Amino acid sequence: MLYYGYFRSSASFRVRIAFGLKGLAPDFKSIHLRKGDQFAAAYTKYNPQEQVPTVVTDAGDVLVQSPAILEWLEETHPNPPLLPKDPIERARVRALAMVVGCDIHPIDNLRVLTYLQKVLQVSEGQFEDWFNHWIALGFRGLEGMLADHPKTGTYCHGETPTFADIYLVPQVFNSLRFKLPLAPYPNIKRIFDNCMKLPAFDKAHPKNQPDFEP
Amino acid sequence: MLYYGYFRSSASFRVRIAFGLKGLAPDFKSIHLRKGDQFAAAYTKYNPQEQVPTVVTDAGDVLVQSPAILEWLEETHPNPPLLPKDPIERARVRALAMVVGCDIHPIDNLRVLTYLQKVLQVSEGQFEDWFNHWIALGFRGLEGMLADHPKTGTYCHGETPTFADIYLVPQVFNSLRFKLPLAPYPNIKRIFDNCMKLPAFDKAHPKNQPDFEP
């Protein structure tokens, strides 16, 4: 198996964590987003969206979109499970994941921030306000969904990591890059710290990737 | 079963289509997003993100986030299936869905457009450019994933509707509201037209909701 990704991409980070938790170690090719590797025809034939990650299976099948890749991994490599068995609990885990995957990350990712700067030419203050506004709104919702819920445990849902943690950790990493204070989100902070003690999360961290740049 | 939604919300529209395809007819409560119903404490106890839709099951379980609700529906009401059986095909359907769910809709939804207008005070031209830029970028990727793929059929994947169509149709509806030309996306246009011939899609259309406003 082969995966195309970029050290700082949240979606690549998610997939790396899942690979690690499942005990998989696919080959890796770096797609340098700031240098524009994602626009090369040799890559867009796999990923017409010009995004990372892309996974190519041993059979040559091409998978894109991190939520779809994670569900595929769970279906084809079920152990250890990253979703609970009960449908209602699965829905909770997926909902927590999608708060990040649909409502925070897409609005604060590189291409949107670039548009704000280059096309709308927002000021530095407006830029920071934008970033912090969407993270704060999303984290407030996420913290509300975690706080006092009987299934919230060492991780977002229970005592083993799930999709929810796989989405949470890269988003917190991003927030820390922009120095967002985590004090208003004690559950998010606690769960992030718990996750980072696990080798699969640490190994997937951007700083530990072969294409890392400070 | 009960669902909270809003006639014009894409995420509510998705869930309505899925209910219809599964032959379900839950009760409905309108959350008027422009009047701020989503901020009322009676609602945020269910949905701390202050968004729609929310589903409350007959057992009293509360489900949020449309991707999680759709997966739950598929797991608990498997017929007719809205995902193929093969894991690689399931991944393709979910990826097509997530192009809309993660890469188009979150950047062009009401709260982001409101921020652009009220906080960043962009001009009318900048506002339209923003909306069209993200839709065009997403539709270009989606069209590339549909064109010439052997599994693309009457619908996004084969001859029966799937999650991919459930995401596609509300996004095309949104684009038509903003008069985006669909000529560059012949597969998207064709599949949208095919879907709208099905009663479940038509019945879920915003204009056919009890809270519809012109």
Kindly report, residue by residue over B117-133, the tens digit of the pLDDT: 999 999 999 999 999 99
Could you tell me if A38 and A63 are in contact, meaning their C-beta atoms sit under 8 angstroms apart? no
Is the confidence at residue B110, as pLDDT, over 90? no
Position B179 confidence tier, pLDDT thresholds 50, 70, 90:
confident
Residue type, B12: S
Each of the 214 residues of chain A gets a pLDDT tens digit; together they read 999 999 999 999 999 999 999 999 999 999 999 899 999 999 999 998 899 999 999 999 999 999 999 999 999 999 999 999 999 999 999 999 999 999 999 999 888 999 999 999 999 999 999 999 999 999 999 999 999 899 999 999 999 999 999 999 999 999 998 888 999 999 999 999 999 999 999 999 999 999 999 8
Which among B95, B106, B133 is the nearest to A64, CB-wise? B95
- ipTM strictly over 0.85? yes
Q: pLDDT above 90 covers what percent of chain B?
A: 93
CB atoms within 10 A of CB B121: 10
pLDDT of B109: 87
Kindly report, residue by residue over B38-81, the tens digit of the pLDDT: 999 999 999 988 999 999 999 999 999 999 999 999 999 999 99
pLDDT of B106: 95
Q: pLDDT above 70 covers what percent of chain B?
A: 100
d(CA B72, CA B81): 12
Contacts with A139 from chain B: Cβ below 8 Å? none
Kindly report, residue by residue over A101-158, the tens digit of the pLDDT: 999 999 998 889 999 999 999 999 999 999 999 999 999 999 999 998 999 999 999 9
d(CA A209, CA A197): 17
Pairing of the two strands A2-5 and A27-30: parallel
d(CA A28, CA A6): 10
* Interface contact B57, partner A, CB < 8 A: yes
Question: Do the Cβ atoms of B91 and A107 come within 8 Å?
Answer: no
- The residues that bridge with B64 in the sheet, in sequence order, are B54
* Tokens 């909770």, residue located: A92
B10: phi then psi, degrees, rounded to nearest 5? -60, -40
Ordered structural domains, chain B, with CATH:
2-80 (3.40.30.10), 87-201 (1.20.1050.10)
Could you tell me if B163 and B98 are in contact, meaning their C-beta atoms sit under 8 angstroms apart? no
Q: Scan residues 126-145 of B and list those with Cβ closer than 8 Å to A.
A: 126, 129-130, 133, 138, 140-141, 143-145
| Higher per-residue pLDDT: B214 or A81 | A81
Q: What is the full DSSP assignment across B134-196?
A: HHHHHHHHHHHHHTT-TT--SSSSTTS--HHHHHHHHHHHHHHHTT---TT-HHHHHHHHHHH
Q: Where are the beta strands (DSSP E) in chain B?
A: 2-5, 27-30, 54-56, 62-64
pLDDT of A80: 98
- Residue B146 corresponds to which tokens in the numbers above? 């549909």
Could you tell me if A78 and B78 are in contact, meaning their C-beta atoms sit under 8 angstroms apart? no
pLDDT of A148: 82
d(CA A141, CA B56): 18
